[in-house]
Structure 1
């Protein structure tokens, strides 16, 4: 009898061993290791240089009647390695992107798989299902369990009704609880010389992922459930008053969004990280050559406060001709007609003071494209007739605003707008939007989006500080381009700053603003101030006319999250530098050793003037001849910066 019990025990142990197995995946440089555990729950952990970054983390997909990831049984293992260069349709950071990863795909009983990827600069995983018909997803579990009480730049949110325009609370994991809601991406400092950014990409037909705090050093995923009852207020706000008991109804055979963790030893490596783009679906536009990035003269921020003209400034034909002339004179590709050009609620009814036929004809004559601001709901209600009319007018782009959600229905709306706009060769800029999550690769006509607390905050906020400006490029920008809308010509130090809605100023110096055109990625890059102010600043306009909106190469020279940033970017044979500091005056040393040897360049430097600590508009322009041996000591005022052009002779 004893022998039978022992044999039975051994048999059970053998069966358990077959189904409970650990799998390991290394990055190509062998510094990062993912360990996957298939026991009672499906979990994975991450080590970097033998240091744990993520303890065993439970992941699961709960469908109606079944939990995929509970008592997982692997039936097949596949591995793959990729090392190639990809040329993106829109060069946000570089003209070529290196894609180098090792992949592990585990196929399980119950009709699902999970794919893990290990890159040299991060890790990622995603679920896939192979089930008939339609499935109902009740929830998705991702209990991110960290080994230490990491410090977090927490993107604090109040509810799922959000445009993801956040300020960051610098706190610890241990101080967060289930009542704390945060959007992605999440930036954290492990305290061991490694920074992490957690995000998602390839988001389609599924809600966006958010985080709650939890007990211990844990973040738990949460998702907006599918809307059941909504209420429209005015022309733009649609509030979800009641939700279904599921997050998505979707195809039974599909892949789900990637969840990625960017890993960086140097803070600047976060700025060059391309995981969000690499993990997204490839371009679906057959011929994307019509997509033209560029700079945009924007009206709303400056409230059309042009002056020195012989017409009444406002939302009218003469004012926008003035913007068109400004754009043409300085080589800007586009202007925006923001809120006010149509009667709210009807995109096909233009206000009496706008002659659209005359404007479009004049813009075409002067070689400037028009972009039209629209409320998302009105566009949805009038989608085909509105887009068809825009195409007839020759409109080059639309700025779609006030969506303020990322449930499954709204995520699908973004894809619909991107696709329908692409059919008509129309660019898209999403405002009032959730963070970038891969759509821009599939539809590169989506050149930029908001989802960031940008320059508009200067009109009403005291929190749009230089420190905030030095968190966003290491956190929000890891997810993709951000329409921050820089370019303020009225600048103020902390003690002189005051939010004024119709006559806004920026916190920090003039050169802090100029540096954003190099530091911040946005293939549609705004000039937020009014043309009358810019025409009084010929030295600044020399830079703003020349600085590109897309880049062939990016090099981060110095970087510390929330404190300072100095980087160089190349377009063709020209280089541009941008430097920013927080409220601390700072001195940085840099050289130009990245330039080719034996070649001479003209370098035009815009740096804080000697009195910029008192008058933030003060700057100094210097022109010198340099080569790759050049060294420079840069002094920045509080909230200061530097911008430079390096042009071959």
Structure 2
């Protein structure tokens, strides 16, 4: 029956002189993707939302082992649209329990030589995703040599994009590490200042709404992608990594025996609330390899953020263990060169001391072999499976909770496989993992629940290094909930109330207080020192003691990329609100908080000066108004026990 139906459709299209096209809509009918095969046999797709254009006809196709599968194709078969539904649990992120529904349809094409390419589309209420599939069986390795995928935006669309740093540039040749500032509200088609292009997630505003492009579902066979530097006419094309972005001696581009597939490329589409609340980054990732019920997200004390290298010594780390214990945080991170400055034997003593205070240690490692010039240690002890399993076994015996692994080479296939191998081997020894100087996780935290966070952001350390970063920090941070942190955990290492040595901090203390709720990370490293935390009011310390890392629900309240952001998150029965103003001018806010119900809670915001606080009672159940200081912020908490008396 399916074959008869397909033949009938093809005959009808041929008789009408039309190109072949097929449409698939979201469960709620608001989104539609249309796939067409033009007269040259080139597959194209377009996306509409409520009848308005999000993407114009955009290209599809790959070059596989020298075979061009982007033109001269014919439709082999069209699968029936299937309903996709999945329930899964996340130990960190926007929501603990996630229910994903979509419609999926698989299209099969063949070229004149008989080589088959399948393209699967999924459409959910919050976005469109597609995946290339290479069916068949082979003993020899097939290489994806090129990709024709594009995203063509209508005229007048705007973009918020981060340039991709060139490989082997930067301090000690550590680029790329996704640590550039965003180009905001630029015309589509404007070229990247870097020949390496633009990173994911890539944000656009179109006549059909907002669109946020990224990818997920990396299985280790594929490289990670980005957008090319040039986008003539507003058409952005997928690009592969630069040649240097590989594990030493490893391969650059996607390759495997048949069958294999690409990651899902996806475009979250809708209002800003849709993007901020979307879980497509994990919906499309591979399921967890194991339950890992030993994984425990939490806040971390960390000396290096403000005190830098001299703080990595036995006595200072003991103080930061005491600090974590006093704040009821579960972890302390001991950063680079601990093996030389403290040593394994003394680290074991610190781990025992920490355990007596219900605190566990995280230890820093250098990922690199020969791909950069960094000298921080431990270095070169994780490069082979035998090495790292020996090291991880030693850490497990010492009672270490996890590892921070730094200075990766980029996005080549061999480097993406290295990330997976590190996470997998660490899990075997009950170790949490934090990647720094790294790529975007692309949903890896779902597949490996012990993968707690990843840097891949111009974070707090850059503010401590460069006044120019401090000057634009407020604007930069209001970009992150809409881009970098929209789908994946982000180790920005937030919150400093103290002054930064040799840097003038532009953000207020209320702004800093909001960040641990606004930013999502399975390990939330707090930049403030023990002495700095002791100097703030007790009610601020109480708040910081209780800030969750895992959330049951998240809602977008208000905001605009690069200007301001307000988000509400629920942990158990308590709602937390956090808001920041990225602009220097005062911003009045009126927020509809009726979704919380009638409750009485606490508001902490800026006091009379940017370095002071003010606390007051606040009631919700309807609109709540307040005024945000320029580069200021606030937090609110509404516990169930605070149900309004009226």
- If the TM-score is normalised by the length of the shorter chain, which range does it land in? 0.7 to 0.9
Following TM superposition, by how much is the alpha carbon of 1:144 offset from its aligned partner in structure 2, in angstroms? 1.8
Deviation at 1:335, TM superposition (A): 0.6
Q: 2:191 aligns with which of 176, 180, 195?
A: 176
Q: Is the 8 A contact 2:96 2:550 kept in 1?
A: no
Alignment match, 1:469:
477
Counterpart of 1:577 in structure 2 is 577
Q: Measure, in 1, the Cα distance between the counterparts of 2:464 and 2:72.
A: 54
- Is the Cα–Cα contact under 8 Å of residues 149 and 217 in structure 1 kept in the other structure? no
CA distance, structure 2, for counterparts of residue 228 and residue 590 of structure 1: 45
Find the aligned partners of 1:592 and 1:151 in 2 and give their Cα distance: 30
Q: CA deviation at 1:74?
A: 2.2
The structural deviation recorded for 1:480 is: 0.8
Structure having the larger proportion of residues in strand: 1
Distance 2:594 2:11 in 1: 65
Which residue is equivalent to 1:316? 313
Cα 1:643–1:187, aligned 2, differ >3 Å: closer, same or farther? same
Task: Determine the C-alpha separation between the residues in 1 that align with 2:224 and 2:21.
Answer: 30
2:628 maps to 636
* Partner SS for 1:163: coil
Q: 1:633 aligns to what SS in structure 2?
A: strand
CA distance in 1, matches of 2:161, 2:281: 20
Give 3-state SS (helix, strand or coil) of 2:514's partner: helix
How far off is 1:78 after superposition?
A: 1.7
Deviation at 1:79, TM superposition (A): 3.1
Closer, same or farther: CA 371–527 of 1 in aligned 2, 3 Å: same
Partner of 2:445: 440
- In the alignment, which residue of structure 1 is the partner of 2:358? 367
The answer to whether the 8 A contact 1:517-1:525 is kept is: yes
Output one character per residue of 1:390-426: Cα deviation in whole Å (capped at 9) or x when no partner.
Answer: 1111111111101041111100000000100111111
The one-character-per-residue Cα deviations of 1:131-182 (angstroms, maximum 9, x if unpaired) are 3122121111212222224211121123144001121112212322794711
In the TM superposition, what are the counterparts of 1:511-590 in structure 2 within 5 Å? 511-537=510-536, 538-582=538-582, 583-590=584-591
Distance 1:436 1:149, change over 3 A: farther
Structure 1 residues 59, 314: closer, same or farther in 2, change over 3 A?
Answer: same
Q: Are the structure 2 counterparts of residues 248 and 87 from structure 1 closer, same or farther at C-alpha, using a change threshold of 3 Å?
A: closer
SS in structure 2 at match of 1:472:
helix
Q: Say whether 1:69 aligns with 2:70.
A: yes
Aligned match for 1:221, one of 217, 238, 246: 238
1:618 counterpart (612, 616, 619): 612
Distance in 1, matches of 2:562 and 2:308, equals 33
| TM-score scaled by length of structure 1 | 0.86
Measure the CA separation in 2 of the matches of 1:453 and 1:292. Answer: 26
Higher mean C-alpha displacement, 70-79 vs 371-380: 70-79
**Once the 2 structures are TM-superposed, how far is the Cα of residue 77 of structure 1 from its aligned partner?**
1.7
Judged with a 3 Å threshold, the aligned counterparts in structure 2 of structure 1 residues 592 and 146 are, in CA distance, closer, same or farther, namely closer
**Would the aligned equivalents of 2:437 and 2:456 in 1 still touch at CA under 8 Å?**
yes
Aligned with residue 607 of structure 1, among 600, 605, 608: 605
Structure 1 residues 354 and 227, CA gap change in structure 2 (3 angstroms): same
Give yes or no for contact 1:19–1:74 (8 Å, CA) kept in 2: no
Q: How far apart in 2 are the matches of 1:196 and 1:183?
A: 15
Matched, 1:380 2:380: no
| Matched positions, count | 594
Aligned to 2:266: 260
- Offset, 1:366: 1.1
Matched, 1:107 2:120: no
Shift of 1:574: 0.9
Counterpart of 1:453 in 2: which secondary structure? coil
State the shift of 1:592 in Å.
3.6
Matches within 5 A, 1:64-463: 64-82=65-83, 84=85, 86-109=87-110, 110-131=115-136, 132-133=138-139, 134-160=141-167, 161-170=175-184, 171-176=186-191, 179=195, 181-190=197-206, 192=207, 194-203=209-218, 204-212=220-228, 213-224=230-241, 247-265=253-271, 267-285=272-290, 287-303=291-307, 314-343=311-340, 351-352=342-343, 355-377=346-368, 378=380, 379-380=382-383, 382-461=387-466, 462-463=468-469
Q: Is residue 87–residue 100 contact of structure 2 (8 Å, CA) maintained in 1?
A: yes
Cα distance in structure 1, aligned partners of 2:487 and 2:15: 41
Task: Measure, in 1, the Cα distance between the counterparts of 2:635 and 2:11.
Answer: 68
Once residues 68 and 15 of structure 2 are traced to their aligned partners in structure 1, the CA distance between those partners, rounded to angstroms, is 20
Change (3 A) 1:596 1:174: closer
For 1:342, what is the secondary structure of its paired residue? Answer: helix
What SS does the corresponding residue of 2:148 show, helix, strand or coil? strand
User: Alignment RMSD, CA only?
Assistant: 2.6
Per the TM alignment, residue 251 of structure 1 is displaced from its structure 2 partner at its CA by 2.4
Alignment of 1:487-502 (within 5 A): 487-490=495-498, 500=501
Q: Is the contact between residue 161 and residue 203 of structure 2 (CA under 8 Å) also seen in structure 1?
A: yes
Aligned residue for 2:322, secondary structure, equals helix
What secondary structure does 2:394 align onto?
A: helix
Aligned with 1:164: secondary structure?
coil
Contact 2:106/2:120 (8 A) holds in 1: yes
Counterpart for residue 647 of structure 1 = 639
Structure 2 CA distance for partners of 1:526 and 1:580, relative to 1, 3 Å: same
Scaled by the length of structure 2, the TM-score of the pair is: 0.87
Report the CA distance between 1:321 and its aligned residue.
Answer: 1.7
Which has the larger displacement, 81-90 or 530-539? 81-90
Q: C-alpha separation between the residues in 2 aligned to 1:259 and 1:250? A: 19
Q: Is the 8 A contact 2:244 2:409 kept in 1?
A: no
- Cα deviation for residue 324 of structure 1 reads 1.2
Note the residue ranges of structure 2 that are not aligned, 5 or more in a row.
Answer: 1-9, 168-174, 369-379, 642-646
Q: Which secondary structure state, in structure 2, belongs to the residue aligned with residue 437 of structure 1?
A: coil
Q: Give 1:259 shift.
A: 0.6
